[in-house]
Chains A and B, each alone.
Chain A
Amino acid sequence: MIKPTTMSRRIEKEFRFFLNGKAMTVRAPPCHTLLEILRYELRMTGTKEGCARGDCGECTVLLNGEPVHSCLTVMTQVEGKNVTTIEGIDPEHRLVRSFVEAGAVQCGHCTPGLIISSYALLLKRPRPTEEEVKEAIRGNLCRCTGYSKIVKAVLSAAGV
């Protein structure tokens, strides 16, 4: 039998940030994560929840241009910052096209995180080596593809 729980206090504060270039204001518990707010408040479900403990990289977003786990980023850490999610990447972007062309997508659950991580890499290193691609995506687990097509897709998007 499920025991009825007593509702503890719920703290809410207001947070302002830029989501894919658009100014946002949300009211949320300050210790809730960016991932929870994206998926359950803003209904932006492109960012996936995998392990929710920083191991799988599925929830990767850019925070001020740097890839971070949105599952380990609480709202106070988002205040005033720029957030880029998969919805902020042009579907016609060469990286997205390369993933499709290389067959780097199977079940698709890891794909948004992988696109975000590789997007951040290409901003810093427009022509990365294979080793650099592997380092950049070492925190993005894929259980379908075996990674070789993903690495190929990133290199091909960079014209390497």
Chain B
Amino acid sequence: MEVPLHDVDVLVPKDVTEVLRLLSSRRGFKLLAGGTDLLVQLRSGAVPKSDLIDISGLRELRYVKRSNGHIAIGALTTFSEIAESEIVKRYAPILAEAAETIGSVQIMNKGTIGGNIINASPAADSLPPLYVLDAELKLISLNGTRIMGISDFYKGYKMLEIRPGELLAEVKLRAMGAGEVGHFFKHGLRQGDAISVVNGAVILDLDGDKVRNAAIALGAVAPTVVRAPEAEKVLKGKKLREDVMWEASRAVLKSISPIDDVRGSAAYRREMSVNYLYMTLWRLAKEVGAV
């Protein structure tokens, strides 16, 4: 049965200050950004009904900027804007790749990066790139500003390190360096408009065909997105050869703890994690001429 929403009030503040005042004035509001997840959850009853603050029209939180080797993205920037941003395409191409695969064009036009972060699905496609780009989140409230690394923000399945009265205002990423290459990967049950069964992001810092450093993150295979330090360690200092890539891909199993669900079994997810990491490493190795 669908939950009727005719009794839900939606307030539309004119600026961020007004949002923060509303958030501090009483508990129980939910913030509405694109609404592509929240409205479905409200109607299904997965999220209890409450009044909403519609922040989707706040232009001041919609931007992509570059400063001091970093990229700052306003929380209400849509995935269409991220996918088309010249700054993202140039300095964080793995995030542009991920943005392109999020749902459909319709979803990309409304869904925001802040919404994806706060909705906290372990399968969220923007998160693996944010993990390997050492994203920092800017949380603002009337009491001040807190900056937090993305992996500290998620404490468990949909458990966030956010306080009442706080608003996620900005995501800051490091720009990929000159020697760095990377790709986002996604396995869905359909080519487009699908929720990820396994997704991930890989960055390799290369010196010729030798890996100086590696950053690997996977989604949909644990209660939160996870980094894969064991796989990263296998690659570090080695040449991108067949046996190294296979060993690193197998090592990813030490970092993940998938479950059975409607989109796939835990065993299937384990196998897909290894295979996709392997395919992605091969793709990168081929692109740089290492194999």
Task: Mark A residues whose CB is within 8 Å of B.
Answer: 8-11, 29-33, 52-55, 57, 60, 63, 66-69, 72-77, 79, 117, 120, 134-136, 138-141
* B6-14, B59-67, B281-289: which lies at the interface: B6-14
> Is A53's CB under 8 angstroms from B40's CB?
yes
Q: Which of B99-121 contact A (CB under 8 A)?
A: 103-107, 109-110
Number of interface residues of B (CB under 8 A): 32
Judging by beta carbons under 8 Å apart, are A66 and B193 in contact?
no
Contact of B109 among A31, A66, A74, A79 (CB under 8 A): A66
Q: Which residue of B lies closest to A120 (CB)?
A: B105
Residue of A nearest to B34 (CB): A72
Those 3 A-B pairs whose CB atoms lie nearest each other, nearest first: A139-B104, A138-B192, A30-B10
With A29-B6, A72-B39, A74-B54 as contacts: A117 and B105 at CB distance below 8 Å: yes
Interface readout for B177-203 with A: 1 if CB under 8 Å, 0 if not? 000000000000001110000000000
Residue of B nearest to A136 (CB): B105
* Contact sample, A vs B, 9 pairs, CB 8 Å cutoff: A33-B39, A72-B39, A74-B10, A74-B32, A75-B10, A76-B10, A76-B32, A117-B105, A139-B193
Q: Are A10 and B6 also in contact (CB < 8 A) when A31-B52, A55-B193, A72-B35 are?
A: yes
Residues of A within 8 A of B7 (CB): 8-11, 29
Specify which of A53, A54, A69 lies most central, judged by the most chain B CB atoms within 10 Å of its CB: A54
> Does the CB pair A139–B107 fall under 8 Å?
yes
Known: A67-B105, A136-B105, A139-B107. 9 other contacts (CB 8 A): A31-B6, A32-B6, A60-B106, A69-B107, A74-B32, A76-B10, A79-B12, A120-B105, A141-B193
Given contacts A54-B36, A74-B54, A139-B193, contact A67 B109 (CB under 8 A): yes
Q: How far is the CB of A74 from the nearest CB of chain B, in Å?
A: 6
Query: Taking the nearest CB of chain B, how far is it from the CB of A127, in angstroms?
Result: 18
**Contact (Cβ within 8 A) A138 B105:** yes
Q: Which of B6, B52, B106 contacts A69 (CB 8 A)?
A: B106
CA distance A141 to B193 in the complex (A): 9
- 0/1 string, B33-44, CB within 8 A of A gives 1: 011100110111
B56 CB within 8 Å of chain A:
yes
Cβ B8 vs Cβ A68 within 8 A: no
Q: Assess whether B110 is in contact with A69, with CB atoms less than 8 Å apart.
A: yes
Question: Closest chain B residue to A55 by CB distance?
Answer: B193
Contacts of A8 in B (CB 8 A): 6-7
The 8 Å CB contact of A57, one of B6, B10, B42, B104, is B104
Contact bitstring B70-104, A, C-beta under 8 A = 1, else 0: 00000000001000000000000000000000011
B5 within 8 A of A: yes
In angstroms, Cα B42 to Cα A30, docked, is 14
Residues of A near B104 (CB, < 8 A) are: 57, 138-140
**Would A54 and B107 be within 8 Å (CB), given that A31-B5, A72-B39 are in contact?**
yes
Note all chain A residues with C-beta closer than 8 A to B110.
68-69, 72-73
